[in-house]
Structure formats: structure tokens, C-alpha cells
Chains A and B, each alone.
Chain A
Amino acid sequence: MRSLSELHLDALTEVFNVGAGRAASSLSEIVADEVKLSVPRIQFYQSSEIDANSLFFDNSMLGAVKQQFNGPFDATAMLLFTEDRALEIVRDMVGSQLSIEELAEFEQEAMCELGNIILNACLSVMADMLGLTLTSSLPDYFVDSSLAITRQIIDEGDRSLILALHIDLNIESRHSHGYLVFLLSSSSLSELVAHIDGFLSGIG
């Protein structure tokens, strides 16, 4: 199995930061305020290595936006935010007062849209820079504990490899930290590595 070197991770960090920039400008237009989005670092795990503590500090409630991407490699992408911080942002945007448990349908839809903007921006930049074509499902949104979501990540069939991107999101005065998690099979990882190698030799 091929794996990701430091060089590969650096290249991906660069790719995703360009994507984050694209997402931030889309989000800025919607909220009519400056949005800053960055991917300070990427970590790579085998699903057997992780437990809830490796990704999250405690068993907090998380909001997750999930899309399936297909193409030269297949990946499940999940954008995870601690629910209270993400909610604050959505509440600022739509102006409502509900708690996590009663998060209304249309606010969930708004979360879905925000996740979709960030995921699509990152994936489309990746497709452009690595010269590949990806398709995607529409996003799903769900709320669950970090334990349950971690279990779901570990149980994701043959997709035993995990790329975890740390994401910092700043909207107005709100700061939020989240993860963009990619679940890949080892054959998909090989494809990804091959494309990154192609990209690196192109710029080298």
C-alpha cells in the first residue's frame, strides 16, 4: 500500500488552503461580511488507530455534513463542527434562538448549504489542481455525539484510511474550529497519491 509522505501532506495542505480561500469568498457573499477559512494542518490515520479522543477533546455534540465523492478515487467527505459553535454561526446568519435538540429543519438546511460550499470548494480545487474529475452526491446533515460519529467513521466499510483536515473558520467575531474528514479505501489512496505525485512533478 502506498502511503502519504510529508511532501504529499504539504501538497494537500496547499491544495486545500486554496479551496478554503474559494469557500471563504463564497461564504462572504452570503453573510455579507468577511469570512476567513484556513486549513492549518492535515493528519493521516488508519481507522484502527483512532478513537474519539484523537479527533475531538470530549464527547461533545457534532454537526456533520456528509457527501460521497466519486471519480479516479472514491471518498466519503464529512465536515464536522462542534455543534454549539457552528450553531452560533448559523444563528447569526438566520437570526434564531433554538437549541441543538430543537434545531429546526430550515436551519439544518442552512448548515447543509454551508458544508456543501466548503466541501465543494475544497474538492473542486483539488480536482482542478490534480487534474481529475469528481462527481458528488448532495449533502446530508446530521447531529450526533463525537463518539457515535467516530464509530461511524471507523465502521465505514473498506474505507479504512482517514485524512483529517483541521479547519479554522472565522465569521465576524465568531471563531470556530472544525474538521474535514476524508475516508478512503487503500486503492483510492493509491490513486490519490499517484495524482499528487503527478502534480508535484508538474510543479517541480
Chain B
Amino acid sequence: MNTLSSSIEETILPGLERKIWDAINLGLILIDANARVVLWNTWMAKHSGIPVEAAMGHSIESVFPDGVSASFKVAVRNVLSRKLPAMLSNALHHSPLPLYPLNTSHRRQERIQQSITITPIAADAQHGFCLIQVTDASVSVKRESMLKSTSEKLSIETVTDGLTGVFNRRFFDKRYKSEFERAQRQHKPISLAMIDVDFFKAYNDTYGHPAGDNVLIIIANSLKTQLNRSSDVVVRYGGEEFVVILPDCSVEGAKLVAEKLRLAVVELNIPHEKSKIENHVTISIGVASYLSGATCNAKGLLEIADMALYNAKNSGRNCVRQGSV
């Protein structure tokens, strides 16, 4: 067994080494202490367009016809002089060497994304070499940018109502809590406006669900455009119910905003023949405000706004009612 493996080491491996370098799916360059190329594998030849014969014996800085990045040259010089391994990350250097993908018609246009490691290799005390390994990072760069854009899209989707595009209940729970706490901390008011579309079930029954969905989208957009401050947010609270968070807004301010929202929906003039109060779509709004020093908590304020909305419904709809804290 031992004899067999040692004979393989002596007779077959030396010839195999070259074949292994050439079979490896990675760019390999070995340079000597004077930075001259002593090994240039097939991967390098294919991706650089520079055949082995043309590369051997030339200095690494002169072997490439066009731009080798300055950082690559510095890194190679450092490794040769300091004998410590170095790397060039893809994120910071992208494409230090003029290497191109295979099998593309625009071969000369875009360089491969690269990750490079440069390692000193001492053959013996006198002979120092430097191994340069080039990895094609294009696939991982593409995958990462895809994952990133997907994760950005998902984080938007998790807080958005799929139908209307305004914020969803999940977002409300989080934002409302933090805004309420901020109001308490900073001794500032905060107001809520609970909104419900009047006779919406009748609308759906008359015009069909797709038309009903469309009304919700139009109303959501209309509410959104009425709000001027970026801190004011519209949320679809459920079915045909919306809620608007108005940070740093007193009860008078909230009533004004609510009235503006109500009028905006009236002006949309969406026909609603089964509405018992008008011939177009309307909304009812309940407003509640927390003022510094009041004893109610976030949940309590929400309940008061809900009660005010109930009050608005009972007062003939298409109106704004204020709840008292």
C-alpha cells in the first residue's frame, strides 16, 4: 500500500499538477520574487485572452494589455515585500483585472466581477513566490443584489395593504405605539381619525365587489393626498375602515383635517344609488386626541376614536364627531 502510493507521488503526480491547475475553475497566477509570471493556468488564458506563452516570463504589471487597477499592483508589491497574504474584496474593487466572461458576443465590454487573494509561497529560503487566485464573483454579486432587492421589496410589502397601497394594520400597531409613547415623552398631543365608508355593504351588493374594491383604492388615495405632513399616515384598518395617525396635532387640528378628508371624499362624487343619505359615496369620521397629562393610554385613545365614529354613524353619517378623553 505504502509503496504504491509513494510510487504514484513520484511518477504520476508531477505531470498531473499542470493538468490540475488547468482543470481548476479559478484563475491561478504564480509569480516569482521579481513579479514575473511563472504559471498561468488555462482559466487565466481563456478569460484574459492572453495565451500561456504570451504571459510566461513577463512581469505581472506588463502582461495585461489594458488597465490593471492600482490597488492590485500595490497589493502584489506588498505581498512580495512583506510576505504576508492579502486580498482584494469584490465589494471594494469589483474588477481589478481585465478578465472577461466566455461565450458572450460583447466579450470585450464588461469585466468579470472578481475576488482576489494573493498568498506568498516560499519554495525554500532563497526562492519566494506569490500565488494569485482569482475567483469569478459575478454569480454571487448577481445573487446578492437580487436578494437585496427582494428583501427591500418584502419589507415594503409587509407594512403595505395589498389592495389600496396604504399602510396596513401591522404597520399601524407598531407606528401608533411608538408615536403615542413619543407624545407622552415629549408632552405633545396626538390625534386619531377613524374613518368608515358609509353604506359600503350596500355599494358592494349593488355594484359588485370589484367596483367596491375600486372605491376603497380611490378613497385611500384621496385620503393620502389630503395629508401634508409626512408624519401623518393613512392606514387601512380593516374592511372599509381606515385610520389616520396625526402626531403633534391637537383636537382642533384633528377636526379640521377630518373635515377636509370628509369633503375630499364628497368631492370625488362616486355614484352610490343605494346610499340612504346621498346619491354618492360618503365617509363618517370619529376623532380623538390625547393631550399631555391625560390619563388615557394608547388603547384607550383608540377606543374613544372608535366610539366617536359610532357616534358619527348615529348622527346621520357623512360627518365628523369628536370623542372626549
The 27 sampled A-B contact pairs (Cβ below 8 Å) are: A26-B78, A30-B92, A94-B92, A97-B152, A98-B148, A102-B151, A104-B147, A105-B140, A106-B90, A106-B91, A106-B141, A107-B91, A109-B91, A110-B89, A112-B89, A113-B87, A113-B89, A120-B82, A124-B78, A124-B84, A127-B82, A134-B84, A135-B83, A136-B85, A137-B85, A138-B87, A138-B117
Q: B92 to A116, Cβ gap below 8 A?
A: no
Q: State whether A104 and B144 are in contact (beta carbons under 8 Å apart), knowing that A30-B71, A138-B117 are contacts in the complex.
A: yes
A105 to B71, CA, bound (A): 21
Task: Indicate which residue in A110, A116, A136, A138 contacts B91 across the interface (CB closer than 8 Å).
Answer: A110
Residues of B within 8 A of A53 (CB): none
Residues of A within 8 A of B89 (CB): 106, 109-110, 112-113
Q: A116 to B148, Cβ gap below 8 A?
A: no
Interface positions, chain A 73-126, Cβ under 8 Å from B, are 90, 93-94, 96-98, 102, 104-107, 109-110, 112-113, 116-117, 120, 123-124
Question: At the interface, is chain B mostly helix, strand, loop or mixed?
Answer: helix
The yes or no answer to B120 lying at the interface (CB within 8 A) is yes
User: B217-245 CB contact bits vs A (8 Å, 1 = yes)?
Assistant: 00000000000000000000000000000
Interface positions, chain B 183-235, Cβ under 8 Å from A, are none
Closest chain B CB from A70 CB (angstroms):
11
Task: Indicate which residue in A29, A106, A127 contacts B137 across the interface (CB closer than 8 Å).
Answer: A106
What residue in chain B is nearest A124 (Cβ atoms)? Answer: B82
In which size bucket is the chain A interface? 20 to 34
Number of residues on chain B facing chain A (CB within 8 A): 29
- Leading 5 A-B pairs by shortest Cβ distance: A124-B82, A110-B91, A109-B89, A113-B89, A106-B91
The yes or no answer to A21 lying at the interface (CB within 8 A) is no
A134 to B85, CA, bound (A): 11
Q: Which residues of A contact B (CB under 8 A)?
A: 26, 29-30, 90, 93-94, 96-98, 102, 104-107, 109-110, 112-113, 116-117, 120, 123-124, 127, 133-139
The yes or no answer to B115 lying at the interface (CB within 8 A) is yes
The yes or no answer to B74 lying at the interface (CB within 8 A) is yes
| Given A110-B91, A117-B86, A135-B84, 19 new contacts (CB under 8 A) | A29-B71, A29-B74, A30-B71, A90-B91, A94-B91, A104-B144, A104-B147, A106-B89, A106-B90, A106-B140, A107-B91, A109-B89, A109-B91, A113-B89, A116-B87, A127-B82, A135-B83, A136-B84, A138-B119
The yes or no answer to B12 lying at the interface (CB within 8 A) is no
What residue in chain B is nearest A134 (Cβ atoms)? Answer: B84
Residues of A within 8 A of B4 (CB): none
Residues of A within 8 A of B141 (CB): 106
The yes or no answer to B159 lying at the interface (CB within 8 A) is no
Residues of B within 8 A of A124 (CB): 78, 82, 84
Closest chain A CB from B28 CB (angstroms):
15
The yes or no answer to B294 lying at the interface (CB within 8 A) is no
What residue in chain A is nearest B79 (Cβ atoms)? Answer: A120
Residues of A within 8 A of B82 (CB): 120, 124, 127
A106 to B144, CA, bound (A): 8
The yes or no answer to B1 lying at the interface (CB within 8 A) is no
